[in-house]
Amino acid sequence: MKFGVFDHMDRAGADLGRQFEDRLRLIELYERAGFHAYHLAEHHATPLGMAPSPSVFLAAVAQRTKALRFGPLVYTLNLYHPLRLIDEICMLDQMSGGRLELGIGRGISPYEVGYYGVDPATGPERFAEALDIILKGLTQQRLTHEGCFFAFKDVPMEMQPVQRPHPPLWYGANSLESADRLARQGCNAVVGMKAEGVGQFAARYRATWASLGRDAAALPMIGLSRHVVVGDTDLEAKSAARRAYALWYDALIHLWRAHGVGLPRQMIPAEFEGALDGGYVVAGSASTVRERLKRDNDIAGINYCLCRLAFGDLSFEESARSVELFAREVMPAL
């Protein structure tokens, strides 16, 4: 079992510069605590994502850490020119000595891509073409491509990543059917389902992996992401988590609510108690968190425990205390 951190970078207050600096201080704590990687979301025109250019923030992460791996989860490929993104990927991997984890996706919000003039209906096809170009550009010295959305002829690829053939790929999965494709691609997956659904996904992923004759020891990471708050008492942790979750959820639904529609494929409860019961939020003393994570991790069959340790209006001190207690009293038992 490895442990990672997922971060929406949702708005935490009026002072955005302070939020960035506090988060970088937390990321330094993540590294010291032994987390494997830090994963940053990309969102636009919404308080859910105050780091809409992940590469900019991750460049700072590269300089503030020495061993922690990091990356976007995910780059919204449909908002990038592939040649530009190839350069950014290579720069981050070089600047960090080969620590980039490359999350890729097409984006869940039609409003966010729509603001950039991208037709959401073309999303799957555009994403597949952009990913093909990026993987070719990271592995070839010259790039030629003729497609529906992009065309290049003999473009020199001066940049290369440290990790060959390319940094590890990550994808946010929301359906059981995607397990087969991701296993064939050898892609790490973070699954947006309850523990029972993740268990079905993990079993299907492993079955496909084995059917391809691949070594079980080389299985990519299959992760489940949850909000985690650890405190000195159950009451303290749940009080902080309830307060912060309300603000995070308000940011989550911001654009959908503005357009008068509900969240697609979204099972996360709006009410804190429902989220707590369903395991979307795990909050309490170290023993409470440890037992709930152990139970759900076993059900989910995961090998990557992904935590959201900073969200809503949790203060630096509250999140730092969570990190301290989690590293000392939860991680060793899992």
Torsion angle, alpha carbons of 12, 319, 28, 16, to 10: 10
**CA distances (Å), origin 23, targets 100, 109, 124, 222, 325:** 18, 25, 33, 25, 18
Q: What is the pLDDT of residue 5?
A: 98
CA separation, residue 50 to residues 13, 14, 80, 109, 177 (Å)? 11, 11, 18, 16, 32
Whether 233 and 321 have beta carbons less than 8 Å apart is answered as no
Contact 194, 266 (CB under 8 A): no
Q: What's the pLDDT score for residue 266? A: 59
Residue 108: pLDDT band (50, 70, 90) is confident
Res. 198 pLDDT band, cuts 50 70 90: very high
Q: Which of 83, 147, 138, 334 is nearest to 228 (CA)?
A: 334
d(CA 115, CA 155): 29
For the residues 303-322, what does the mean pLDDT come to?
98
* Average confidence (pLDDT) over 231-235: 98
Mean pLDDT of 172-184: 95
Cα(306)–Cα(303) distance, integer angstroms = 10
Q: Which CATH superfamily does the domain covering 2-73+169-333 fall into?
A: Luciferase-like domain (3.20.20.30)
Identify the helix (H) or strand (E) that includes residue 19. Answer: helix 16-33
- Specify the pLDDT at position 132: 97
Helices (H), 34-109: 54-64, 82-95
The domain limits of the chain are 2-73+169-333
3-state DSSP assignment of residue 130: helix
Both tokens of residue 163?
């990790």
Q: What is the mean pLDDT of residues 115-139?
A: 96
Q: What is the mean pLDDT of residues 289-312?
A: 98
Average pLDDT taken over every residue of the chain: 96
**Cβ contacts of residue 227 below 8 Å, gap of 6+?**
241, 245, 248, 275, 280, 281, 282, 283, 307, 308, 311
Q: Tell which residue, 135, 212, 137, has the closest CA to residue 181.
A: 212
Each residue of 26-84: pLDDT tens digit? 999 999 999 999 999 999 999 999 999 999 999 999 999 999 999 999 999 999 999 99
Alpha helices by DSSP H, listed for 164-267, are 178-185, 195-211, 234-252, 254-258
Q: How many other C-beta atoms are found inside a 10 Å radius of the C-beta of residue 281?
A: 27
Task: Band the pLDDT of 189: cuts 50, 70, 90.
Answer: very high
